[in-house]
């Protein structure tokens, strides 16, 4: 049974993970950290900062805010415990800190914890190799109206996968309202929609003169990210120090 410290326990994802761990034989949430320190739903203690946590745990799962990730990463390093970092829109400094941490503890970082999206990313890499020459690449993403960052970390992940399969400089163009010029072939357009309770929609289009190929993913419920983060927690709990992501988890499925 893995003991989880849930960082951001009072948020939408924190709640989804804590619900999933209830009556679960493999995972139990032993403590939480959040700006909000009261929640009737939880029987575990909630601390206002990681440094206040005096409860023994095996793995930290973080779904919080980019401003909170440095502190929890330093805490994980000090405790010598693995961290699954799922918060998005991280600064370059925070990404560098996570990399530094991965020299001493296992660090799992992914902007999208769903297995399906990570399979999509692999398909995008393949499709780009075959289709880029004759098509323009555009990405559209849609999320709920509470989401703070745009474009989504997942849209960037998909764009990065396409970029990695292209042998020339690629420029990302975010929405087009400020760009009054014709589209260049070496651009990847990324557009965001925000509204209602959309969990997460991503589509990449390879638009040629004669045909369009689309690859899309639709998350129906936050549970898909919750389940992925628990899979990641089990993965890092038994891993050596290093930097991991979902590609390590799904690698087996892509073996010949
Ligand atoms: N990697 C993925 O698969 C994935 C999936 C969904 C969401 N996310 C990302 O995870 C993060 C959280 O998403 P959410 O939908 O649960 O958001 P949310 O706003 O519902 O929850 C965030 C929680 O973090 C807490 N928090 C904020 N600042 C804090 C601080 N300084 N210290 C401690 N707690 C703090 C908030 O009080 C809140 O309870 C976002 O960055 C989101 O983009 C990632």
DSSP 128-182: HHHHGGG-EEEEEEEE-TT--SSS-HHHHHHHHHHHHT-SS--EEEE-STT--SP
Measure 65 CA to ligand 1 centroid, in angstroms.
Answer: 5
144 catalytic residue (yes or no): no
Residue-level pLDDT, tens digit, the chain, 256 residues: 999 999 999 999 999 999 999 989 999 999 999 999 989 999 999 999 999 999 999 999 999 999 999 999 999 999 999 999 999 889 999 999 999 999 999 999 998 899 899 999 999 999 999 999 999 999 999 999 999 999 999 999 999 999 999 999 999 999 988 888 999 999 999 999 999 999 999 999 999 999 999 999 999 999 999 999 999 999 999 899 999 998 888 876 677 6
Q: Which two tokens stand for residue 233?
A: 């927690």
**3-class state of residue 101 by DSSP:** helix
Measure 217 CA to ligand 1 centroid, in angstroms.
Answer: 21
Inter-residue contact 115 to 250 (CB < 8 Å) = yes
Number of H helices and E strands in the chain, helices first, is 7, 12
Sign of CA pseudo-dihedral 54, 28, 108, 58: positive
State the pLDDT at residue 178: 85
Return the closest-CA partner of residue 191 out of 150, 158, 154: 150
143 catalytic residue (yes or no): yes
Give the span between the Cα atoms of 73 and 91, in whole angstroms: 13
State the pLDDT at residue 188: 98
Burial (CB count <10 Å: 0-12, 13-18, 19+), residue 159: buried
Measure 160 CA to ligand 1 centroid, in angstroms.
Answer: 23
pTM to 2 decimal places: 0.86
Cα-Cα end-to-end distance for the chain: 33
The number of residues in the chain equals 256
Measure 184 CA to ligand 1 centroid, in angstroms.
Answer: 36
Inter-residue contact 71 to 92 (CB < 8 Å) = no
Inter-residue contact 49 to 33 (CB < 8 Å) = yes
Find out whether the beta carbon of 61 lies less than 6 Å from any atom of ligand 1: no
Give the span between the Cα atoms of 157 and 245, in whole angstroms: 12
Instruction: For helices 12-21 and 223-237, give the axis angle rounded to 10 degrees.
Output: 70
Find out whether the beta carbon of 63 lies less than 6 Å from any atom of ligand 1: yes
State the pLDDT at residue 247: 86
SS3 sequence of 44-91:
CCEECCHHHCCCCCCEEEECCCHHHHHHHHHHHHHHCCCEEECCCCCC
Q: Which domains does the chain have, with CATH numbers?
A: 2-109+222-254 (3.40.50.720), 115-219 (3.30.360.10)
Instruction: For helices 92-101 and 69-79, give the axis angle rounded to 10 degrees.
Output: 10
Find out whether the beta carbon of 152 lies less than 6 Å from any atom of ligand 1: no
Per annotation, catalytic residue among 15, 81, 147, 163: 147
């Amino acid at each position: 049974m893995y003991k989880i410290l849930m960082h951001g326990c009072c948020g939408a994802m924190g709640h989804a993970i804590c619900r999933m761990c209830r009556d679960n034989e493999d995972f139990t949430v032993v403590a939480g950290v959040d700006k909000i320190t009261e929640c009737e739903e939880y029987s575990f203690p909630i601390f206002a900062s990681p440094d206040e946590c005096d409860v023994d745990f095996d793995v930290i799962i973080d779904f919080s805010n980019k401003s909170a990730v440095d502190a929890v990463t330093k805490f994980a390093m000090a405790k010598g415990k693995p961290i699954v970092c799922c918060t998005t829109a991280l600064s370059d400094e925070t990404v560098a800190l996570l990399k530094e941490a991965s020299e001493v503890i296992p660090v799992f970082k992914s902007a999208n914890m769903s297995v399906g999206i990570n399979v999509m990313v692999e398909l995008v890499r393949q499709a780009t190799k075959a289709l880029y020459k004759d098509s323009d690449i555009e990405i559209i993403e849609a999320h709920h109206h509470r989401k703070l960052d745009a474009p989504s970390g997942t849209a960037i992940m998909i764009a990065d996968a396409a970029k990695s399969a292209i042998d020339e400089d690629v420029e990302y163009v975010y929405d087009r309202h400020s760009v009054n010029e014709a589209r260049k072939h070496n651009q990847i357009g990324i557009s965001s929609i925000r509204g209602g309770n959309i969990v997460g929609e991503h589509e990449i289009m390879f638009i040629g003169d004669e045909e369009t190929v689309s690859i899309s993913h639709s998350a129906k419920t936050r549970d898909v990210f919750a389940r992925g983060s628990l899979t990641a927690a089990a993965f890092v709990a038994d891993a050596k120090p290093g930097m991991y992501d979902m590609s390590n988890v799904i690698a087996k499925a892509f073996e010949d």
